[in-house]
Structure 1
Amino acid sequence: MSALSLVFIALVVLVGLGTLAFALLVLTRLFSS
């Protein structure tokens, strides 16, 4: 695997985790209100 593909995979994982964290934050705000 080249370094570029590793960077791309890391970026996809970070974006996925960020989206998941944002969704959890929105859900907790909806349920707490």
Structure 2
Amino acid sequence: MILEGTVTNVTNFGAFVDIGVHQDGLVHISFIKR
């Protein structure tokens, strides 16, 4: 599933993304392109 969102925090294991619901989603580092 592909959604648009705003990155709210970046960690060594991934990024937290606000997608418009009550909780942020986590994008694992293996899904982030460099």
TM-score by length of 2: 0.14
Report which structure shows greater RCO (CA 8 Å, sep ≥6): 2
Higher strand share: 2
Higher helix share: 1
